[in-house]
Structure formats: structure tokens, C-alpha cells
Amino acid sequence: MTPTLKLDLGSYLREQRRAAKLSLRQLSELAGISNPYLSQIERGLKKPSAEILQQIARGLEVSAESLYVRAGILDESSPTSAPSVLAAIAADSRLTDRQRQVLVDVYRSFVDIADEPRTAPATGSASDGDVAPAPAEQSTETPES
């Protein structure tokens, strides 16, 4: 059943466009992208950036996150905060496509590290000497002396 859900992005966009009863030209106008470019995306000839996906999502009135998952930009098993972070990256018009991709990659690397078992970071902070209970014990003993 998962392969059926995992239609390629272009086929999924075409299905969504047809369900919304929009022509290719109408969606291209709503999304603010060229008709030929949208056609190439639907046929799988072009891979759109996150920003273009967001524009298409706006035109189709679907969530950008669902398109990010289809495009492989967002893993559907990501934490709930991930879509908002990735959407913010995609929405920032000051960033180039390359900058967006780097930010997404960096974000994912941090999320992947956070998903690893906590034993390694705990030992790392203990070896740094930043243990909170030790100063608290010393400060409580000092007033008693």
C-alpha cells in the first residue's frame, strides 16, 4: 500500500490539479510559475525547488509539507516541528535555492543527531566538567561550615 501512496511528485501534482478542477494554465497562473515549467514538473522532467513547491501548494490549496514529502525534501517521519522549520526555509525569498538546500541539510543533520541515543551526549557533557549538582553541593556545604 505504501508504493501507491508514494506516487512520483509529478503524478501527484497532476492528480491534485485535476481534483481541484484546474487546467495546467490556471494552476501556473495561481502559482506564479510558467506553464511549460509546471508541465515539465508534472511529467517528471524537472525537479522543483522548495520555494516552487510552496507556490504550487498555495495554488492547489494543499499543504506545502505534503509536497515536500513527495519531493523527498521532508521525511514523513520527521518531528512535528520539522515542517514549520522547513516551510520557513522554503518561504524565505532572501535565500537562494542552494542556500535553502544547505539549510535543510544542516537542519536534518541536527535532527538526526538529536534522534540518536542520549548516552553519548550525556557522557560528553560530564567529561566537560559542567555538572550542575557538584557546585550546588559545595554551595550548600559552605554556609553550614
What CATH number has the domain bearing residue 26?
A: 1.10.260.40
Is the pLDDT at 125 greater than 50, yes or no? no
Residue 9, in any domain of the structure? yes
Give me the pLDDT at residue 17, please: 95
Residue 50, in any domain of the structure? yes
Give me the pLDDT at residue 139, please: 46
The secondary structure of residue 45, as a DSSP letter, is S
- Please, which residues have CB within 8 angstroms of residue 57's CB and are 6 or more apart in sequence? 63, 64, 66, 67
Residue 90, in any domain of the structure? yes
Structurally, the chain folds into a number of domains equal to 1
Q: What is the mean pLDDT of the chain?
A: 76
Residue 101, in any domain of the structure? yes
Is the pLDDT at 14 greater than 60, yes or no? yes
Give me the pLDDT at residue 48, please: 93
Is the pLDDT at 3 greater than 50, yes or no? no
Does pTM surpass 0.85? no
Is the pLDDT at 35 greater than 50, yes or no? yes
Residue 65, in any domain of the structure? yes
Residue 57, in any domain of the structure? yes
Q: Which is higher by pLDDT, 120 or 31? A: 31
Q: Which is higher by pLDDT, 143 or 106? A: 106
Please write the tens of the pLDDT for every residue from 74-120: 776 655 556 678 778 877 778 887 888 888 888 888 877 766 665 54
Q: Which is higher by pLDDT, 94 or 31? A: 31
Residue 135, in any domain of the structure? no
Distance CA 26, CA 7 (A): 23
Contact 82, 111 (CB under 8 A): yes
Residue 42, in any domain of the structure? yes
Cα pseudo-dihedral 72, 78, 81, 86, rounded to 10: -20
Is the pLDDT at 52 greater than 90, yes or no? yes
The domain of 66 spans 2-117
Share of the chain above pLDDT 90, in %: 32
